[in-house]
Amino acid sequence: MVTAALLSPVAFRLVLPSQSSSKYKPTMCCPRRSNSLNTCRNKPDSPPLHAFQVKGQTQGPPKKNVTEKRLKQLHLKPRQLDIIMDTFGGRLQNGGLVFQQHFMIRSYELDPDGKVSIVALVNRLQESALNHLKSVGLHADGFGSTPEMHRRDLIWAAYRLQIEVERRSSWADVFQGEIWISSASAKHLKFGWLVRDCKTGETLIRANSLYLMINKKTRKVSFAKEVGAEIKPHVMNCDPLINQDKKKLLHLDFDTADYVRTGFKPLWNDLDINQHVNHVKYISWILESTPHSILDSYNLSVMTLEYRKECGRDSILQSLTAFNKDGTDHFAEDEGVEFDHNLCLEDGTTEILRGRTKWMPKIYGEGLKNKLMST
């Protein structure tokens, strides 16, 4: 909610020199208190404030190629310069079928381990997908709506996300993301996303994301062959980065869950342009019911999410988590630990999301080589 700032009854105004003054010596004075909020009105004889220029700060036309000159002064190699120029833009590759973009990890994207958070990574995935659609001329309005979708009042809604994390970057690291449309039809759109380390070329993340087309008013899945025809020329036929997890995602309730957190209420800031809670927010909520011992000692390795229902601003949710024992009563620590997740309305009537995560011990993700060498 946008709130108006209250104006203080005491305001400062700039006293301008008269036209006959030979020297410019601006001073500040404090006017008397006024019951009116408009304490900054100019006198009739005063020149307009926007016409006043401070001596010694004459503004002229901007110099050409200033940015290029400054970048050259940094003595950057061509590849480094290329990365900087591409960080906020991106470029099309493979005949326009692949969109490549570089991202720098920001300090506010880090988790307590000093690594980029999974929430920040999925936000980057969403950003890359939208930039890709825009770069090929398929973005008309909203979150990636094509021109035909805009005419029919249709939008995209996340349905399934599968992500595998090999390693997460640290602050100020630059990674290269490549995204492409792996399949499309009259009702769905699927992306493949590959992330590499810019310095080493090491693969960091693989992901598949599937979106369904829904009507903006009825919020029901819609079909439009014309939309499929719009997207078809931009589909890259290739093998999927990740084989689809065919293992059924389980439904949890209060009795079958091992960990429960209640009272999650979306904030105004959690809504996106489609007037529902952005699907990335759900990840934060399922992590809140994950045991702290797992968050402290394990790294998220695999995450599969299935979005089953929208939730809005007035929803109150609960997050349920259970150990996935796969029919056994023990865990092989070196094989990781799996959890089932469920988000639903607090009254239990509506299921919002099902998910599964796999976590690997941090020593296996980062320090296994040192441990093996010491034994």
**What are the catalytic residues?**
274, 276, 311
Burial class (CB in 10 A: 0-12, 13-18, 19+), 8: exposed
Interatomic CA distance for residues 279 and 305, integer angstroms:
10
CB environment 61-84: b (16+ within 10 A), e (fewer) = eeeeeeeeeeeeeeeeeeeeeebe
The residue behind tokens 């480094």 is: 80
| CA quadruple 78, 83, 86, 92: dihedral, nearest 10 | 80
Contacts of 85 (CB under 8 A, 6+ apart): none
Structure tokens at 278: 């952005």
The residue behind tokens 């009259």 is: 186
Structure tokens at 253: 């309730």
Interatomic CA distance for residues 220 and 216, integer angstroms:
8
